[in-house]
Structure 1
Amino acid sequence: MSEAAIRPGVHASALLAPLDPLLRAWLPRQRWFAGKGRPVTALEAVSVTELLPRSSPSGLLHLLLRVRQPMVPPQDAGLDGSHPERPTDCYQLLLGVRRTLPPHLAPAMIGHVTEGPLTGHTVYDALHDPRLTGLLLERLRIPGRHGVLRFERDMGVEIPSGLTPRLLTSEQSNSSLVYGDTFILKLFRRVVPGLNPDLELPLRLAAEGCARVPAPTAWFLADLDAGASAPEESCGLGVLQPYLAGAEDGWELALRMRDKGESFTGEARALGRATAEVHAALAAALPTVTLGRAQVETVADAMAERLTAAAQAVPALRPYAPGLLTAFEALADLGGEGQAWTAQRVHGDLHLGQCLRSPDGEWSLIDFEGEPARPLAERRLPQPTARDVAGMLRSFDYAASHGTWSPEWADECRAAYCSGYAEVAGRDPRTDPVLLRAHETDKAVYEVLYEARHRPDWLPVPLAAVRRLAEDGPADDTH
């Protein structure tokens, strides 16, 4: 087998062995590394692909690396973004290889290799090297295979060569590169077999003619199974989409307008309409299902289990657990009485930061990956649209807590968003208060876990929502 695609085995082991201590020290420092707080016990090469020979002035290695760590105790599940049943994660790495690292790439250095095939070379994060990220774009322009990697694209869209790349620094669970303010490439860092929703759903929406979501221009996958020939059988690695130049992040826009004393209700209403349009397109593009008694009870039980685990992990949540549980019990009770709901594919992690407003005032939705900590199979399940609505309502609460807490601002935005949604969907989410309260409660519990682990200073924000939701009865449809 050629060096272009080194399957796990003696060659990959020889390459990885000297990198092992360097990567063990480097990985936990990366923002996208999910296993923080747990030691790395082993690194295993899933695949190694040489995109640019190391005999060149700078080589480029593509690695899929399995990272083994201790099992997460059940009481700590979720606190580090992991599940107790998953002691390993697979990460995508792009490594640059040079004899001498120029000063401008010093911050990207992983370490010096002193033995093995890369002896005498310096290894670094290739995403900081414009020469290598430019090469990656060139590879995306040409459909085909390179080792285990498979590159595909929409041939109806031109991808110019020579676009200047720049690495965005604000990403968390993934990494993004902008090329000439024309395209943005999102690279999935933690990868699993199966079609990533962040490629799957935009492709489906583009076929449906939905203009609210940037259509994929090119993408690449890894065929780890020799017989794989379809995206569903592969491991999604990255997607190139149009870059919305001049667009403003919904979170930053909301904060800026609030700080200036300007109303955000008009934008919230427009955002509600955009959300409903995307939901309608997803329902048309993919199958919907009906959640009957058994399915509703399963959903409610899962929410209750997440609450129990969160209360064990975060003591501040425990006093509110009995009140929060009533939200899930009310949902199960309605299901038991014969109430059914429609479920469909949804965004899965909708909040203001996942929305962009163009200079002409149009809203777009991005980042359809869902909550990265959840298993891929779960993220691809049909859900009630209330899940997305609840996520956005919680996001308004977060924005209202920035600076001086303003519950009135949040209430106005929440009401405007639901009204805008109703203008397109023909129904207001607030007319189904039991379903909405259950999903908002589940989201707030998730936020408590996240903030307790990652941003303790933000913990009061979801705890304030928890306090309200624990007191709210199912008949309360004002929040």
Structure 2
Amino acid sequence: MLEDTLADWITHQRWFAGKGRPIDTLRIESDTSLPGLRHLVIAVRQGGVTDRYQLLLGHSDHLPDRLRHAHIADGLYDALHDFELTGVLLELMASGTTFGPIRFRHLPGAAIDTSLRSLVLGAEQSNTSLVYGEAYICKLFRRLIPGTNPELEIVSALADRGAKHIAQPYGWIETDLDDQPTTLAIMQEFLPTANDGWDLALASVRDLYGAMPELAAGEVGGDFSAEARRLGLATAEVHRELAEAFPTDVVEPPEVKRMVEAFRRNLERVVAEVPELAPHAPVVEAAFHRVEEVTGAVPVQRVHGDYHLGQVMRTATDWIILDFEGEPGQPLAERRALASPLRDVAGMLRSFDYAARHLLLDHPRADELEERAAGWTAHNRAAFLDGYVRGGGRFTETDAALLRALEYGKAVYEVGYEARNRPGWLAIPLAAFTR
């Protein structure tokens, strides 16, 4: 029975969110025949909770060696790994075709080259991305959440405005789940020669740690501050474009206090889980209390929602911001909710700290380099904030207090995450409370 076969196979896929828990039932909700492909939406029930996933299946009685790793059973295999079949996705998006419940769409005026071969990117965890030649990257969302994915919504709106800091969208695939149009995939411009922001930051940190002890972060060859300043400028420009493309609002002081209360409850939970955080709790509480004293309204708008150095790419001309889908583990409504743009700023500043301290893990000279790590972070924080303000980002005295609370709230979350998932990294977020 196909359901039993898939129930065994899916538990070994790294994009499956329910690993480590038994599957109660697996049911095929839809089964659509595409040219050469079979598209399935399956419902997996575990412990009273049901998640949906999409699969694209191929069939071959004689599976070639290059596809052995994608084998499922009885001639079936994961067709996303077969470049001889995945070209049909380009063709269907280019033509705007509908097959049963599956709709293939492209942006007005988008010209899609349907001759390109695909290659599966190997680094992802929750999605599967196909790179077509050096032109497109098509991200297929394995776990399906009813509704339009925020990334499709945002990049389409920004593309309409001629935004320069995004990867241009070309097309998408959708269906209906729970009577809601639901994004199955989005295809955007691929940036083959761009450099990942995290990698660039780590290269700068390596240069600093290898330089003469008397040299500061701004005096070594790999100084990152000019890029941090440009990134701050790009961030402010995208925030302005988001505010122009989507509704904005303000949050009054009582709602700000409710936000702080949520931070405080999380602090209490994490302190109970991670005793090492307890000595720093008063510092965090003081920052939270400062925000509770805010008497004015706080502007809110659509934001990135999961902003860090791994979400930005440096091309030959500028910074490009990727992955506007927000935190994948959060409900869609929360990912689409309005928030202070300083939430993104806080995320990037925390990412600078991670870049500086990541290379200290297991480093034989970690104690000696501690001051240099703090110096690199401070140097690039200042540059990023300078660029953000120059780009029109709002940053008043009240904003500074809110940013501090958002950073501490993020760092508390990181402490809990690292304690559960990467205990060897726990020192990184704990360092946020000692400065």
3-state SS of 2:26 partner: strand
Of the three residues 196, 203, 213, the one matched with 1:256 is 203
Partners of 2:285 and 2:20 in 1: how far apart? 30
Q: Does 1:140 align with 2:93?
A: yes
The alignment of Structure 1 onto Structure 2 pairs a total of residues equal to 411
Gaps of 5+ in 2: 209-221, 361-369
Of the three residues 49, 67, 70, the one matched with 2:32 is 49
Q: Kindly tell me: are residues 47 and 309 of structure 1, through their superposed partners in 2, closer, same or farther at Cα, counting changes over 3 Å? A: farther
Query: 1:240: Cα distance to partner?
Result: 0.7
Q: Is the 8 A contact 1:27 1:33 kept in 2?
A: yes
- Tell me which residue corresponds to 1:477: none
Instruction: Give, as a single letter, the amino acid of the residue that structure 2 aligns with 1:415.
Output: A
Of the three residues 45, 50, 53, the one matched with 1:88 is 50
Equivalent residue runs for 1:338-377 within 5 Å:
338-360=295-317, 362-377=318-333
Instruction: Give, as a single letter, the amino acid of the residue that structure 2 aligns with 1:236.
Output: T
Query: 1:36: Cα distance to partner?
Result: 2.9
Q: Provide Cα deviations, 1:389-426, integer angstroms capped at 9, x if missing partner.
A: 00000100111013235111111111100000000115
Query: 1:91: Cα distance to partner?
Result: 1.7
Cα-Cα RMSD: 2.0
Partners of 1:128 and 1:100 in 2: how far apart? 15
Q: Is the 8 A contact 1:429 1:436 kept in 2?
A: no
- Tell me which residue corresponds to 1:117: none
Of the three residues 56, 60, 66, the one matched with 1:98 is 60
Partners of 1:326 and 1:46 in 2: how far apart? 51
Q: Is the 8 A contact 2:147 2:177 kept in 1?
A: no
Equivalent residue runs for 1:13-412 within 5 Å:
18-52=1-35, 59-70=36-47, 87-110=49-72, 112=73, 121-224=74-177, 233-261=180-208, 262-334=222-294, 338-360=295-317, 362-404=318-360, 405=370, 406-412=373-379
Equivalent residue runs for 1:429-440 within 5 Å:
432-440=399-407
Partners of 1:445 and 1:282 in 2: how far apart? 28
Q: Does 1:414 align with 2:381?
A: yes
Partners of 2:113 and 2:299 in 1: how far apart? 43
Relative to the length of structure 1, the TM-score reads: 0.81
Larger mean CA deviation between 213-222 and 346-355 belongs to 213-222
Q: Is the 8 A contact 1:63 1:92 kept in 2?
A: yes
Alignment identity in percent?
48
Partners of 1:421 and 1:400 in 2: how far apart? 21
3-state SS of 1:29 partner: coil
Q: Provide Cα deviations, 1:84-140, integer angstroms capped at 9, x if missing partner.
A: xxx232222222222222111111122x2xxxxxxxx32222221111222222222
Q: Is the 8 A contact 1:430 1:436 kept in 2?
A: no
Instruction: Give, as a single letter, the amino acid of the residue that structure 1 aligns with 2:119.
Output: R
Query: 1:312: Cα distance to partner?
Result: 4.2
Partners of 2:84 and 2:396 in 1: how far apart? 49
Query: 1:247: Cα distance to partner?
Result: 0.6
Partners of 2:77 and 2:396 in 1: how far apart? 49
Query: 1:321: Cα distance to partner?
Result: 4.0
Q: Kindly tell me: are residues 431 and 263 of structure 1, through their superposed partners in 2, closer, same or farther at Cα, counting changes over 3 Å? A: farther
Q: Kindly tell me: are residues 307 and 132 of structure 1, through their superposed partners in 2, closer, same or farther at Cα, counting changes over 3 Å? A: farther
3-state SS of 2:116 partner: coil
3-state SS of 1:200 partner: helix
Instruction: Give, as a single letter, the amino acid of the residue that structure 2 aligns with 1:38.
Output: R
Query: 1:313: Cα distance to partner?
Result: 4.3
Larger mean CA deviation between 168-177 and 20-29 belongs to 20-29
